[in-house]
A and B are shown apart, each in its own frame.
Chain A
Amino acid sequence: MRTLDAKSSSRSGSDQGCSPAKRQQKIAVAANSVETTMHPQRSLNLIDSIALNKSRPRRMQPNRARHCFRQGLLAALLVVAGAAPVIASPLQLPALVEPASQEHHVGKVIFVELVTPDLAAAKQFYAGLFGWTFRDIQAGGTEYAEASLDGRPVAGLIHKDVPAGEHRQPAWLSFIAVRDVDATKKIAVQHGAKVLFEPRSIPNRGREAVFADPQGAIFAVLASSSGDPPDVLAAPGEWIWSSLITSDPDTDAAFYQTLFDYEVFDLPADEGAQHLMLASDNYARASANTLPANRPNIHPHWLNYVHVEDAVKMTAKLVALGGRVLVEPRVDRHGGKVAVVADPLGARFGLLEWPDTESKEVTK
Chain B
Amino acid sequence: MNISLLRWSAIAFVIGLFTVLSPGCAVYGDGYGYDGGVGIGLDYYEPYGAYGGWGPGYGGWGPGYHVGPFRDGAHRPDRGGGHPPPHAHRSAPASHPVPSIPSRSRSGGSRRH
B60 close to A (CB within 8 Å): yes
Secondary structure dominating the interface of B:
loop
A140 close to B (CB within 8 Å): yes
Give the chain A neighbours of B29 by CB distance below 8 A: 196
A90→B60 CA distance, assembly (Å): 42
A248→B24 CA distance, assembly (Å): 39
Give the chain B neighbours of A27 by CB distance below 8 A: none
A169→B103 CA distance, assembly (Å): 34
Interface residues on B, range: 35 or more
B92: which of A264, A298, A356, A362 is its contact (CB, 8 Å)? Answer: A264
B82 close to A (CB within 8 Å): no
A144→B102 CA distance, assembly (Å): 30
**A295 near B100 (CB under 8 angstroms)?**
no
A239→B67 CA distance, assembly (Å): 15
Instruction: For residue A38, give the distance in angstroms from its CB to the closest CB of chain B.
Output: 46
| CB nearest neighbor in B for A307 | B101
**A76 near B44 (CB under 8 angstroms)?**
no
**A297 near B56 (CB under 8 angstroms)?**
yes
Instruction: For residue A348, give the distance in angstroms from its CB to the closest CB of chain B.
Output: 5
**A144 near B47 (CB under 8 angstroms)?**
no
Give the chain A neighbours of B72 by CB distance below 8 A: 357-360
Instruction: For residue A90, give the distance in angstroms from its CB to the closest CB of chain B.
Output: 5
A80 close to B (CB within 8 Å): yes
One of A28-36, A40-48, A49-57, A327-335 at the interface: A327-335
Give the chain A neighbours of B64 by CB distance below 8 A: 268-270, 273
**A265 near B40 (CB under 8 angstroms)?**
no
**What string of 1s and 0s marks CB contacts (under 8 Å) between B36-50 and chain A?**
011111111111111
**B44 near A361 (CB under 8 angstroms)?**
no
A10 close to B (CB within 8 Å): no
- Which residues of chain B in 65-113 are interfacial with respect to chain A, using CB atoms and an 8 Å cutoff? 65-74, 76-80, 84, 87-92, 96, 98-106, 110-113
B99: which of A71, A245, A279 is its contact (CB, 8 Å)? Answer: A279
A303→B64 CA distance, assembly (Å): 18
Instruction: For residue A272, give the distance in angstroms from its CB to the closest CB of chain B.
Output: 10
A93→B39 CA distance, assembly (Å): 11
Instruction: For residue B74, give the distance in angstroms from its CB to the closest CB of chain A.
Output: 7
**A233 near B102 (CB under 8 angstroms)?**
yes
Give the chain B neighbours of A212 by CB distance below 8 A: 32
**B44 near A171 (CB under 8 angstroms)?**
yes
Instruction: For residue A122, give the distance in angstroms from its CB to the closest CB of chain B.
Output: 13
Give the chain B neighbours of A71 by CB distance below 8 A: 7, 10
**A292 near B61 (CB under 8 angstroms)?**
yes
Give the chain B neighbours of A9 by CB distance below 8 A: none
Give the chain B neighbours of A352 by CB distance below 8 A: 68
**A334 near B68 (CB under 8 angstroms)?**
yes
Secondary structure dominating the interface of A:
mixed
| CB nearest neighbor in A for B44 | A168
**A266 near B45 (CB under 8 angstroms)?**
no
A76→B90 CA distance, assembly (Å): 61
Give the chain B neighbours of A301 by CB distance below 8 A: 46, 50
A284: which of B14, B80, B100, B106 is its contact (CB, 8 Å)? Answer: B100
One of A13-21, A62-70, A181-189 at the interface: A62-70
A215→B67 CA distance, assembly (Å): 18
One of A94-102, A128-136, A314-322, A336-344 at the interface: A336-344
| CB nearest neighbor in B for A274 | B87
What is the interface of chain A, defined by CB distance below 8 A to chain B? 64-65, 68-69, 71-73, 75-77, 79-80, 87-91, 93, 113, 115, 139-142, 144, 158, 160, 162-163, 167-171, 173, 196-197, 200, 202, 210, 212, 218, 230-233, 235, 240-241, 243, 245, 250-251, 253-254, 257, 263-270, 273, 275-277, 279, 282-284, 287, 289, 292-299, 301, 303, 305, 326-327, 330, 332-336, 338, 340, 342, 346, 348, 350, 352, 354-362
4 A-B pairs besides A163-B28, A250-B89, A333-B66 with CB distance below 8 A are: A141-B38, A266-B84, A350-B67, A362-B99
What is the interface of chain B, defined by CB distance below 8 A to chain A? 3, 6-11, 13-15, 18, 28-29, 31-34, 37-62, 64-74, 76-80, 84, 87-92, 96, 98-106, 110-113
